[in-house]
Amino acid sequence: MKKILLFCIMTTLGICMSGQAQNKLVVNADQGKETISKHIYGHFSEHLGHCIYGGYWVGENSPIPNTRGIRNDVVKALKDIQVPNLRWPGGCFADEYHWMDGIGPRDKRPKMVNTHWGGVVEDNSFGTHEFLDLCEQLGCEPYICGNVGSGTVEEMSKWVEYITFDGESPMANLRKQNGREKPWKVKFWGVGNENWGCGGNMTAEFYTDQYRRFATYCRNYGDNRLYKIAGGPNGGDYHWTETLMKNAAGLMQGLSLHHYTVPKNWGDKGSATQFDEAEYFTTISKTLVMDELITKHATIMDKYDPQKRVGLMPDEWGAWYNVEPGTNPGFLFQQNALRDAILAAINLNIFNAHADRVKMTNIAQTINVLQAVIFTEGEKMLLTPTYWTYYLYKVHQDATLLPISFSCNKYELNGRKMDAVSVSASKDAAGKIHITLVNIDPNKEQSIETELRGVTVKSVTGQALTSAKLTDHNTYEKPNTVTVKDFKGAKLSKGSLSVTLPAKSVVMLELE
């Protein structure tokens, strides 16, 4: 009754009609417990299309400025978003990759066919040393995915020895012969990729046994401690998670999860830049499934791992559209629009909310492939709208997740509804509070009244990402159509914060 009365008063005042004052956020600034692992902001780069070749690797003799063959412009751009880890070499490519082909003098490395991705020649000029050099240049942790599908236990075990053993051994000596005296530190180690599909078409039961075998021989040398990540389920395959957790949880530190957002279907996925509002609505509802997937897989994990020792790692996610017309279908090159920036921001808010279980994620795939953050063409480089979401969200890395309660308006289209706003809040080591907000509604701005509990703040600043149309994207000719600008729509008054989010926007607020 009270609610009806309030609704009537608000309607009379025109408040509901204008969509004002129904969004109510409470941030409990003194109650955070979970750390948002910086690795939630990780990336994935496969030997696919122009991700590695042309994206990172141009070779030492290229006129494009590079350091030991790796593009300087790309390294700088990725450092600016604090890329915390990089997953490599696949993807489906990982279970076809034989690492010994990618070491030693480059002109002597064997060539292979990249059967998964366009049938092109892979000359192996980018291999283990080049990848680990790239990670050192980026200042990020390597995440190597080993070959289970077509590889052997011996091959994987020798790769670990080659990279991490400091002493006399056949593999450590080979590494030294190839110019690297000291071992590298590698923590994140994937034992196969999509072994229910391109990684061997295995059953959950068969892969679980394979995982146990392969993981046994991935040794910890010296003080290098591997964080072994089992190849996880395809979307909602809960039997896969149940089988692995029941029979192999003790041998793993992480379990991967793959979920791509495909607006239409796998035959015709939809265009990256030509879509209407109904397709936008569907895309966002499909991406929101990530929350349900994490919740349900985490519930199974809780049964076998109540201490939450094993991390859930969505190490491939993002939007997957039709390739751009006229491009190689095997190269998975797609444009990147404001819709993608919004989609990424929603997912990152979801991952933050599950920080107790989600310890790493990797958007697919950094450069020129799928939901890329960077495009390159010859010497040119371009930052996509998704890049700018990562730029805004880097403030959450290793910060404390702040519990929130939030009631918000609905975004409605043709009788379908979803929450209009997605939100996440954290406190960093210096005590600054950051709130990231996404106004999913492409038509209406959203006003949010925020109560900040357990803290006194004196100032608010912000940055926002938006554009005139959801389909807007950056091009080499117009690189700044969708980019970050200062945000003036937040005001503090007597300890409470009022924010007006523009339609279809991503906003990051900093409170001190």
- Binding interface with ligand AHR (CB under 6 A): 46, 90-92, 193-194, 316, 364-365, 370
Q: Which is nearer to ligand AHR, 159 or 331 (CB)?
A: 331
Report whether 216 contacts 192 (CB < 8 A).
Answer: no
Report whether 332 contacts 370 (CB < 8 A).
Answer: yes
Among 73, 157, 90, CA closest to 126 = 90
Residue 227: CB minimum distance to ligand AHR, A: 20
Q: Which is nearer to ligand AHR, 193 or 210 (CB)?
A: 193
Q: Which is nearer to ligand AHR, 58 or 94 (CB)?
A: 94
C-alpha–C-alpha distance, residues 28 and 404, integer Å: 6
* Beta carbons within 10 angstroms of residue 246's beta carbon: 13
β-sheet bridge partners, residue 406: 25
Q: Which residue number places its CB atom closest to ligand AHR?
A: 91
Report whether 400 contacts 32 (CB < 8 A).
Answer: yes
Among 364, 312, 369, CA closest to 343 = 364
Q: Which is nearer to ligand AHR, 90 or 149 (CB)?
A: 90
Report whether 397 contacts 39 (CB < 8 A).
Answer: no
Give the type of residue at 97. Y
Residue 509: CB minimum distance to ligand AHR, A: 33
Residue 162: CB minimum distance to ligand AHR, A: 24
Query: What is the Cα 441 distance to its own chain's centre?
Result: 23
Residues annotated as catalytic (active site), given as ranges: 194, 316
Q: Which is nearer to ligand AHR, 199 or 442 (CB)?
A: 199
Q: Which two tokens stand for residue 312?
A: 């859930």
C-alpha–C-alpha distance, residues 84 and 141, integer Å: 6
Report whether 40 contacts 55 (CB < 8 A).
Answer: no
Q: Which is nearer to ligand AHR, 364 or 392 (CB)?
A: 364
C-alpha–C-alpha distance, residues 512 and 460, integer Å: 7
Residue 147: CB minimum distance to ligand AHR, A: 13
Q: Which is nearer to ligand AHR, 92 or 348 (CB)?
A: 92
Residue 32: CB minimum distance to ligand AHR, A: 34
What's the count of helices (H) and strands (E) in the chain, helices before strands? 11, 27
β-sheet bridge partners, residue 146: 191
Residue 145: CB minimum distance to ligand AHR, A: 9
C-alpha–C-alpha distance, residues 30 and 493, integer Å: 20
Q: What is the CA radius of gyration of the chain?
A: 23
Give the type of residue at 129. H
Q: Which is nearer to ligand AHR, 130 or 316 (CB)?
A: 316
User: Percentages helix, strand, coil for the chain, rounded to the nearest 5?
Assistant: 30, 25, 45
Residue 365: CB minimum distance to ligand AHR, A: 6
Residue 259: CB minimum distance to ligand AHR, A: 10
Q: Is the peptide bond before 31 cis (omega within 30 degrees of 0)?
A: no
Q: Which is nearer to ligand AHR, 93 or 184 (CB)?
A: 93
409: DSSP letter = P
| Dihedral of the alpha carbons of 314, 318, 320, 325, in degrees to the nearest 10 | -140
> Rounded to whole angstroms, what are the CA distances from 391 to 168, 290, 373, 485, 500?
44, 22, 10, 12, 21
> Rounded to whole angstroms, what are the CA distances from 417 to 25, 345, 412, 466, 495?
20, 19, 4, 22, 32
Instruction: For strands 416-419 and 410-413, give the pairing.
Output: antiparallel
Residue 364: CB minimum distance to ligand AHR, A: 4
